[in-house]
Amino acid sequence: MTNHPYPAHVIERVAKGLWNTTPASGALDWEDLQPEDSINRKDVYLEKANAALQALWDASRIDTIQQLKKVPDFSILVDNEGFEYKAYEIRNPNIFPAHVLYWGDANGA
């Protein structure tokens, strides 16, 4: 079961990206994958994409101020009600749990 907020078109883009990393993708386009094909089933890649996005969503969860201190200042978080905050603006622990939508300068950019 997944509870991530990513819509179907994002799941499909991730699935296509996963498919494009397989050797078979050179011989078969994403649009040509058939559900009944035992090896190259589109639904398998959609399930993998869904699992990957769920893992990303779970990894972005922030539950405490201590965890928040590890997030770059200009990261953008969303709470369970859909309100967005910049990490440096958060003073009230009542917004937790929250999820990081954008990691700001996490890579030094």
For 60-74, how does the pLDDT look when each residue is reduced to its tens digit (9 = 90+)?
999 999 999 999 989
Which pLDDT score, from 0 to 100, does residue 109 have? 47
Rounded Cα distance, 6 and 42, in Å = 18
107 pLDDT higher than 80: no
Domain layout of the chain by residue ranges:
8-59, 61-102
Of 24, 64, 58, 68, residue with least CA distance to 44: 24
pTM of the model: 0.82
**How many C-beta atoms surround the C-beta of residue 68 within 10 A?**
20
